[in-house]
Structure 1
Amino acid sequence: MTDSKTSPAPATAAQRSPGIAAPFAALLIAVLSFSLMQTMVVPALPDLQREFAAGTTAVSWVLSAFLLTASVATALLGRVGDMFGKRRVLLASLTVFAAGTLFAALSDSVGMLIAARAVQGVGSAAFPLAFGIVREQFPRERVPVAIGLISSTFGIGFGVGLVIPGPIVDALGWQWIFWFGLIVIVLGIAAVAAFTDESRVRSPGRIDWAGAALFSAGVTALLLAISQGTSWGWGSAAVVGLFAAAVVLLAVFVAVEQRTREPLIDIELLRRRAVATSHVAALIIGFGMYGAFTLVPLLAQTPSRAGYGFDASVTGSGLFMVPMAATMLIASPLAGRLGAAVGFRLPLVLACLVGMAGFAVYAAAHDTEWAVYAGSAVLGVGVGFAFAALVNLVVGAVGPDRTGEATGINTIMRTIGGSLGAQIAASVVAAETVPGTGIPAESGYTTAFVMSAAALAVAALAALAGPGRRVTRP
């Protein structure tokens, strides 16, 4: 006689696991290692310029090379992780990242350092792959908060990376920025290898090499035009040509993907309301918020003889970003809990409104240190809410087999917006100087902060166009 009882469903990784603390800590270390390396080199740029007797343009490529490869790798390796296993691809990405960091520490020329930074950019895949691992291996009720905390690490590492390099460079030299980063990366590799399981959910297929080439070329042309727009001139033939090439290449990419049986990026996926509005909001939020990451330290370093500024050192100027990192760490899990209860559209709209308030403080009261600290704290809440809500909206709108792909594209949209916002904000600030000093006029900062607030108002409208409740795809 057959047994009429239904056999229990196989346990998920989260149910089999005695806890999620260890894998969560492993993923945090992995993504923190990348987010720190985004900006730790920034305070050291003057030292690098002197060390290698390089020009300003050459040194700027230390940042641009990293940005270009990171943006391409985020989307490509996110999709590859969906296909072949997120843990496997994450470990490979971190290993290449470690190799690039080692080469950077050993660099004896600016050319070698630029090449090493380009290799480092591959580590950007840590974010979409980590989001996918969380979705598959954590209990469902823990996913929004975990994603919120991992998302906040992007901004926290960005801010902290501006603070700690000053003392390191002063005491040990610029090479130790990379030795320190390498230690964190190796810890991340060991933790991911020891405490995370390989994903069982796959999206089988072959790598779409034609799509990968077109997408990489289009994104590279776009970001190269943005990153070099200020130095080459926004109306120069090179920049205009790169923008035109980006439009053509990405248009061809879309056409090719729609006709490919196993596309690199599912175009139909991008048309879903929750996904499309999240990507648009990420682009605009990146444009608005990243201006603060670069402008506030510059404002703090301005000599007070200009009529504003605080005569801050490189290390002291980075401290103005600490309140943002602190409130971001608190706000991200709160956004995850709120979104799980009422849907993530509300946290995203609140993120934009709170961010507007932070920029309003910057614009109206940046003549006193306490006001800038307060503006940073307020803006940190907005950034924390935004990063958590954006990723959760995307994760809730796609299947587990497309998590890496979808969150990778969302990260790229935020990066493109941030790159454009930072460059335009820098151009606005540099447009007018204090007579006889060459120091940017205070009005430029005010205008840039108001511009960021206006961008977040537009982002709030984009967020309102998205779905109100979390959409969970099987």
Structure 2
Amino acid sequence: MIETTRRGSRRLTFLVLAAGAGFFAMLQSLITPVLPTIQHDLHTSQNTVTWVLTAYLLSASIFTPIVGRIGDMVGKERMLVASLLALALGCLLAAIAPNIGVLIIARVVQGMGGAVFPLSFGIIRDEFPAARVSSAVASISAIVAAGGGLGVVLAGPIVAVLGYRWLFWIPMAIVGLTALAAYRFVPESPVRAPGRINWLAAGLLSGWLVALLLPISQGAAWGWTSGRVLGLLALAAVLFVGWALAEVRSTNPLIDMRMMRLPGVWTTNLVALLYGGSMFAVYAFLPQFVQTPTSAGYGFGASISQAGLLMLPMLVAMFVAGLAAGRLESRFSAKAQLATGAAFNVVASAMLAVAHDSRLEIAIAGGLVGLGIGLAFASMANLIVANVPASQTGVATGMNANIRTIGGAIGAAVVSGVITAHPQASGLPREAGFTMGFLLLTAIALAAAVAALAVPSGRRARGRRASAATIVESELAAEFATMPSTR
């Protein structure tokens, strides 16, 4: 009877985590197809409306690892509730925003909800039996991946029927109920990391993330050789070095560099950087390609809704692959799944470069991308969870998500520069620009596949992971034992 109750509680916990993570992921892509609509409705410029995306990106990048670390320290359940409430509040502000300034602030508040990813993985590791952790983490990863794709699919129909503000009203209602369910049903995590928040490290981390991602996301508008872009990139390098030194020297690091140097962690993060570069660029430019008017000599002149439907094979494939990943891990290791996912991405990007003249070719390539994303999301999360101490699951998975986002921002910026380098007289990109862009994505995906082969695997790797994690845990425990009591 007790075990049956526990299983029911775990199912409810999983549903709450899935809803929170899925809707945050959806809000990442839900807005992208309707930026022109928002620009027109709020009477703003194209450069200004892009801050609706940039503000969300910067906010999520800052808060994901920091709140993940706080969750490791003070309790993952309470920080999950706080993250969901921030997400719901941001949706409310966005839904009633009278001008672009308020909408941008709302998106900053929404970005605070990015910590639902690492917190969810940490709660699963704390609450689920060891035999169920891989499949549960993979399933959440599948929902995260599918949520991002679902946003592209749903944006058009919702805007057409209800208006763009319902892109915020609907998530607000569901996320608000999810926060209530999390408070009521998700148990508080028994695993805690000792220590206090290192605010110097938090400030330096936030500083270099903003200084890096801001010029990358705004480089096309500001000019890649402008003083603002070059100055911010130089500042990012300086702040990164300062952050790394502060973390290494700190007795209470925000992100433990010993953990980040574990072979299974840094190699997986390298794959995340490269894979993010290819994955997010496909998300960004494949819908743009199919919406290009046929008068350009290519494209299909698809509407937002039609472009979303062409993305359906990608969405379905990534969801199915993600769900299958955890169940296959006993026979098909996380490393093998990660390399296979990257290989699918190589094939898909190469296919888009040479065969993009029919909707069927786009659908097949999209399906291959979806298979790759589903396997990669699940395997990366599982590799990080398996390689770090339980007390650092939140911050480690948060940094992995952040590194994937950084890769995505860099990849999207670079590919955008290639695609738009030599526009037609009409201002539309040339087909050759898209072809070169997809070839570049093929090269990035190939680099990710090669990097995946460097991820440790097998018994020796498990032994190294266990011993390294034990060392980190014991050192943290020793540091905690020498701290003065706060009572």
Residue type of the partner of 2:209?
A: V
2:287 to 285, 297, 308: 297
Aligned residue pair count: 462
Quote the offset at 1:423 in angstroms: 1.5
Whole-Å separation in 1 of the counterparts to 2:83 and 2:159? 27
- Tell me what 1:50 maps to: 40
Identity %: 41
1:210 to 196, 200, 204: 200
- Tell me what 2:125 maps to: 135
Residue type of the partner of 1:271?
A: R
Quote the offset at 1:213 in angstroms: 0.5
Residue type of the partner of 1:456?
A: A
Whole-Å separation in 2 of the counterparts to 1:340 and 1:140? 13
2:435 to 446, 460, 463: 446
Whole-Å separation in 2 of the counterparts to 1:404 and 1:277? 18
In structure 2, the CA distance between the partners of 1:340 and 1:239, relative to structure 1 (3 Å rule), is farther
Whole-Å separation in 2 of the counterparts to 1:52 and 1:328? 35
**Partner SS for 2:197:** coil
Task: Tell whether the 8 Å contact from 2:68 to 2:395 is kept in structure 1 after alignment.
Answer: yes
Q: State which drifts further: 265-274 or 138-147.
A: 138-147
- Tell me what 2:335 maps to: 345
Residue type of the partner of 1:74?
A: T
**Partner SS for 1:253:** helix
RMSD: 1.6
Cα deviation 1:223-259 (Å, max 9, x = unaligned): 1011011111111111111111111001101111111
1:321 matches 2:311: yes
**Partner SS for 1:200:** coil
Quote the offset at 1:451 in angstroms: 1.0
Quote the offset at 1:18 in angstroms: 4.0
Whole-Å separation in 1 of the counterparts to 2:332 and 2:373? 19
- Tell me what 1:373 maps to: 363
Whole-Å separation in 2 of the counterparts to 1:338 and 1:246? 40
Which blocks of at least 5 consecutive residues in structure 2 are unaligned?
A: 471-487
1:268 to 258, 273, 290: 258
Matches within 5 A, 1:232-271: 232-271=222-261
Whole-Å separation in 2 of the counterparts to 1:324 and 1:191? 31
- Tell me what 2:13 maps to: 23
Task: Tell whether the 8 Å contact from 1:301 to 1:312 is kept in structure 2 after alignment.
Answer: yes
Whole-Å separation in 1 of the counterparts to 2:64 and 2:3? 25
1:36 to 26, 44, 56: 26
Which blocks of at least 5 consecutive residues in structure 1 are unaligned?
A: 1-11
- Tell me what 1:5 maps to: none
Task: Tell whether the 8 Å contact from 1:363 to 1:446 is kept in structure 2 after alignment.
Answer: yes
**Partner SS for 2:329:** helix
Whole-Å separation in 1 of the counterparts to 2:251 and 2:166? 47
Whole-Å separation in 1 of the counterparts to 2:329 and 2:5? 23
Task: Tell whether the 8 Å contact from 2:193 to 2:392 is kept in structure 1 after alignment.
Answer: yes
**Partner SS for 2:456:** coil
Whole-Å separation in 1 of the counterparts to 2:365 and 2:54? 28
Quote the offset at 1:153 in angstroms: 2.2
Q: State which drifts further: 155-164 or 198-207.
A: 155-164
In structure 2, the CA distance between the partners of 1:14 and 1:395, relative to structure 1 (3 Å rule), is farther
- Tell me what 2:446 maps to: 457
Whole-Å separation in 1 of the counterparts to 2:202 and 2:114? 17
Task: Tell whether the 8 Å contact from 1:33 to 1:188 is kept in structure 2 after alignment.
Answer: no
Whole-Å separation in 2 of the counterparts to 1:371 and 1:257? 48
Matches within 5 A, 1:221-236: 221-236=211-226
**Partner SS for 2:50:** helix
Task: Tell whether the 8 Å contact from 1:15 to 1:139 is kept in structure 2 after alignment.
Answer: no
Whole-Å separation in 2 of the counterparts to 1:291 and 1:181? 25
Task: Tell whether the 8 Å contact from 2:9 to 2:185 is kept in structure 1 after alignment.
Answer: no
Task: Tell whether the 8 Å contact from 1:145 to 1:332 is kept in structure 2 after alignment.
Answer: no
Quote the offset at 1:20 in angstroms: 2.6
**Partner SS for 2:55:** helix
Q: What TM-score comes out, normalization by structure 1 length?
A: 0.94
- Tell me what 1:155 maps to: 145
In structure 2, the CA distance between the partners of 1:13 and 1:65, relative to structure 1 (3 Å rule), is farther
Task: Tell whether the 8 Å contact from 1:151 to 1:387 is kept in structure 2 after alignment.
Answer: yes
In structure 2, the CA distance between the partners of 1:401 and 1:340, relative to structure 1 (3 Å rule), is farther
**Partner SS for 1:261:** coil
Q: State which drifts further: 124-133 or 187-196.
A: 187-196
Q: State which drifts further: 339-348 or 202-211.
A: 339-348
Q: State which drifts further: 120-129 or 227-236.
A: 227-236
Whole-Å separation in 1 of the counterparts to 2:256 and 2:401? 16
1:71 matches 2:57: no
- Tell me what 2:418 maps to: 428
Quote the offset at 1:16 in angstroms: 4.3
Cα deviation 1:182-201 (Å, max 9, x = unaligned): 02211321332233111000
Quote the offset at 1:292 in angstroms: 0.8
1:311 matches 2:306: no
In structure 2, the CA distance between the partners of 1:108 and 1:18, relative to structure 1 (3 Å rule), is closer
Matches within 5 A, 1:407-418: 407-418=397-408
**Partner SS for 1:20:** helix
Quote the offset at 1:422 in angstroms: 1.1
Quote the offset at 1:14 in angstroms: 10
